[in-house]
Amino acid sequence: MKAIYLIFISIGLAVAGQLFMKAGMSNYQMGEINLQNSIPQFLKMMFRPLVFTGFVFFLISSFFWLLALSKVPLSFAYPMVSISYVLILFFSWLIFKEQIGSIRWLGAAVIIFGVYLISRSG
């Protein structure tokens, strides 16, 4: 499989993981976190079904990321990850109905152009 596909599969899974975690934490009421309750609080959050699913997506994403890194230089692969910012922006608007201003959309366009330039160098 081509390295660019591995990179984009990894990015897609990581974005899905973020979306699952956000959905899982949307109605979560977190109390104050201190040294005594930090681990129980983390475990309580971690084992919420959607949050746990998000972590699983991240784990699978890491597998594809490692495969990609075995094939291309990090200086090529890592800047590609910035496309995840654009995808998160879009899906946050689409799924969670977040308000996204024109400056953010412009920033996303700049990121897309940057990824395009980097992809042309590989």
Q: Express each pLDDT in 32-62 by its tens digit.
A: 777 778 888 888 889 999 999 999 999 999 9
Nearest Cα to 45, choosing from 28, 27, 26, 64?
28
Q: What is the pLDDT of residues 81-111, one digit of tens each?
A: 999 999 999 999 999 999 999 999 999 999 9
Residue 44: its pLDDT value, please? 87
Structural domain boundaries in the chain: 3-121
**18-52 per-residue burial string, b: 16 or more CB within 10 A, e: under 16:** bbbbbbbeeeeeeeeeeeeeeeeeeeeeeebeebe
